[in-house]
Amino acid sequence: MKSSNSDIKALFEPKSVAVVGASSQPGKIGYSVTRNILQGGFKGKVYPINPKGGAILGMDAYKSVGDIGGSIDVASICVPAKFTFDAVKECADAGVKHVQIITSGFSEVGENELENKIVDYAKSKGTRILGPNIFGVFSSSGNFNSTFSATDVLRGNVAILTQSGALGIAMIGKTAVEKMGLSAIVSLGNKADVDEADCLEYIVQDKETNVVLMYIEGVKNGEKFIEAVREASKVKPIVVLKSGRSARGAMAAASHTGSLAGADEIFDAVAKQSGLLRAESLEEAFNWCKFLAYAPMPKGRNSVIVTNGGGIGVMATDACEKYGVDLYDDQIVLKEVFEPATPDFGSTKNPVDITGGAQASDYDLALSAPTKSDEMDSTLALYCETATFDSENLAPMIRDTYSKHMASGKPVTYAIVGGESVEGAITELRRKNIPVFPDVYEAVSCMGALYRYQKMLKERDESVAEVDVDLKTIDKIIDGAIADNRTFLLSTEGQDVMDSAGIIIPGAGIGKNIEECINLAEEIGYPVVMKVVSRDILHKSDAGGVALDILNKEEVIDAYEAIMTNCRVYKEDAVIEGIEVTEMVQKGVELIVGARQDPQLGPIVMCGLGGIYVEVMKDVTFRAAKLNRKEATEMLSEIRSYPLLLGVRGEEKRDIDIVVDTIIKVANIIRKVPRITDIEINPVVVYEQGKGLKAVDVRILISK
């Protein structure tokens, strides 16, 4: 998966760059790219390429890349689409390491064939392709700006990887206004070759980068993506903004970049699992990035709110619950720490209310207190404009208390609400990267993101739960099904797969006639369940192909009759292999455990509330299938119906451990058997602790 670090580094810190399609005419992309490279302080060699030759921005232009003669790290292609393949070919033949294709008109408009041709040729020569359909790359470490952005890029500590060109260019402008400097910005475009996984490898190691922001619409190679973000998030916080969440959004993403947005709840789950911080909006993403770039990591989870208004204090409390910020509650310590700063009619409970009469000096006292206390780890400072406050001291007070927090290694955010003077203070302070917000939820959400990141780092477990699965047996079963021209396994085959992984299934057999069914029922022991076995009937219940709670021989005969008759009516030409006779499992809590090869994210495992209403209740959670026991336990605990497993209304606790084992086993199957595309075990009937579970019905789909 990994590109070599030194290779990808050349994209960000090239020593030489060629601009194919360079131009001396202002307004042309080839001009802007060349100009930005020069004005960006690039110290390496720049080769403008134009078949007409001549002089471009004070340099002699080469007529072709082949004329250069030396090694070239990066070539930026600015020629029309119809000339792009030839341009890439020239570059690849000349041994260029990275080609950035600015040009659009490829897979985003359906020209997949041309795009694939370009990538294939480049790959054959060892050249990597960034794009097409991009605005270029900026890298502070490399003093390299190969974008065609009109705005100078303000340098700083945030790196951006963006799949949207227009949004990316707009972000350059916005970051400049917000004074949020960039260490790098990479336009990924169509991601025909180089993608975010490749770039992350370099970016998180870059000392200029403190935090990474990714805007993505779709993921092409899920397993590669997951592995890359897991590794990267260990090093630096990664904020992701992913669009295509809604059905309409997904359609827009498909037509925008030809990306499949995929099921959003799956992405969300995998993002959390991989340590990504998912923002809801561009504003939120920027807020988090600015904050995370400079905020110190808190030593603990004790937060305190200091406010001059009760209402905003309550809002902040709500926000803390929403964003997972724990509020410090030791009343004695709070009183001790804040009493000097709080009038008698105020409150030293958390939120600490220093009342509407507080002046800047009172704030200074109140906000300095947590910086000296070992009990408090972070602060949320709230201010509502009052008529009596010395507003000219607002910004100085915030600057001062912020410095104190930074000096003590404690993060702080401010939410200040008011008129013109307040708005002015916000603008002035944000330009100095002090985390001040006009809305309390914005302030708390930043702190929440920091705490989530901290928790992720602390609780991180890189282990992967491996179990022994009899792969040979499973492959043989699949070979048999494929030979039979099927893309699904029969229920007996599914049970054999379960058996190969050690997942407990009820006793079962297939009877081809009444006599065999009777014998099986008597061997397994009543009560039994009888189900039709047919490649042509997938939804057995709908076909009337299931009979439950069969207690004796006469009922076996009746059930056989009913199933055969119903199935023939349901699908006249159905090939009926026989009737499966299985043990009738006792009642328990019904769960669903499944897995699939997600077209975006690779092997995914799922668990949730099972039974016939699973598609209506949709109480399921997801994870990437490369998971450990802790992650499997967490995903189970996240289902809304989890309390049923803990025992409700006097019922015993269920065997949660074995459910976790089953999730891990299913995850192992989907990872190790790529020909299996979908597994669904529904219901998994779970019994009391120590009494295990039974995988009652298994559906497995395969691909040829």
Partner 1 sequence: MDKLVIAGTRKSAGKTTIFTGLGKALGKKVAYMKPFGDRLIYRKKRLWDYDAALLTNIFGLEESPEDITIGFEHAKLRYVYDEERVKEKLHEIANNVGKNKEMLFVEGGRDLAYGVSVYLDAISVAHYLDGKLVLVVGGNDDNIVDDITLFKKYVDVSNVDFAGVIINKVHDIEDFKNTYVEKIKEMGVNVIGIIPYVPELSYFTMDYLSETLFAKVIAGEAGLNSVVKNIFVGAMSSNEALRNPMFNKDSKLLITSGDRSDMILSGLETNTAGIILTNNILPPSNIISKASEKNIPLLLVSSNTYQVASQLEKMEALLTKDNAEKVSMIEKLIADHVDVKLL
Q: How far is the CB of 487 from partner 1 (least distance, A)?
A: 16
Residue with smaller CB distance to partner 1, 338 or 570: 570
What are the two backbone dihedrals, phi and then psi, of residue 378, each rounded to the nearest 5 degrees?
-155, 160
Q: Which CB, 52 or 539, lies closer to partner 1?
A: 539
CA 22 – CA 31 distance, rounded (Å): 6
Which residues are at the interface with partner 1 (CB under 8 A)?
Answer: 247, 513-515, 539, 541-542, 544, 547, 549-550, 555, 557-562, 564-566, 569, 615-616
Smallest distance, partner 1 to C-beta of residue 488, A? 16
Q: Residue 415 and residue 438: Cα distance in Å, rounded?
A: 6
CB-CB contact of 100 with 33 (8 Å): no
Comparing C-alpha atoms, which of 10, 146, 127, 8 is closest to residue 65?
Answer: 127
Q: Minimum distance from CB of 544 to partner 1 (Å)? A: 7
Place of tokens 């792009």: 84
Closest CA to 435 of 450, 452, 457: 450
Number of residues assigned to the chain: 704
Pick the closer one to partner 1 by CB: 332 or 616.
Answer: 616
The smaller minimum CB distance to partner 1, of residues 296 and 544, is found at 544
Could you give the 3-state DSSP secondary structure of residue 411?
A: coil
User: Residue 560 corresponds to which tokens in the numbers above?
Assistant: 């056989």
The smaller minimum CB distance to partner 1, of residues 364 and 680, is found at 680
Report the nearest approach of partner 1 to the CB of residue 604 (Å): 20
User: Could you give the 3-state DSSP secondary structure of residue 248?
Assistant: helix
CA distance 44 to 322: 49
Beta carbon nearer to partner 1, 414 or 560: 560
How far apart, in whole angstroms, are the C-alpha atoms of residue 76 and residue 79?
9
For partner 1, give the closer residue by CB, 568 or 640.
568
Q: In the bound complex, what is the minimum distance in angstroms from residue 579's beta carbon to partner 1?
A: 10
CA atoms within 13 A on the CB side of 642: 13
Taking the C-alpha atoms of residue 701 and residue 704, their distance in angstroms, rounded to an integer, is 10
Smallest distance from the beta carbon of 622 to partner 1, in angstroms? 19
With beta carbons less than 8 A apart as the criterion, state whether 123 and 99 touch.
Answer: no
Residue among 7 and 555 whose Cβ is closer to partner 1:
555
DSSP state of 23: -
Contact 36, 94 (CB under 8 A): no
CB of 568 to partner 1, least distance (A): 9
Q: Supply the minimum distance, in Å, between the C-beta of residue 557 and partner 1.
A: 6
Peptide bond into 80 cis (omega under 30): no
* Closer CB to partner 1, 96 or 518, in the complex: 518
Are 350 and 337 in contact by the 8 Å Cβ rule? The answer is: no
In the complex, what is the shortest distance from the CB of residue 592 to partner 1, in angstroms, rounded to a whole number? Answer: 15
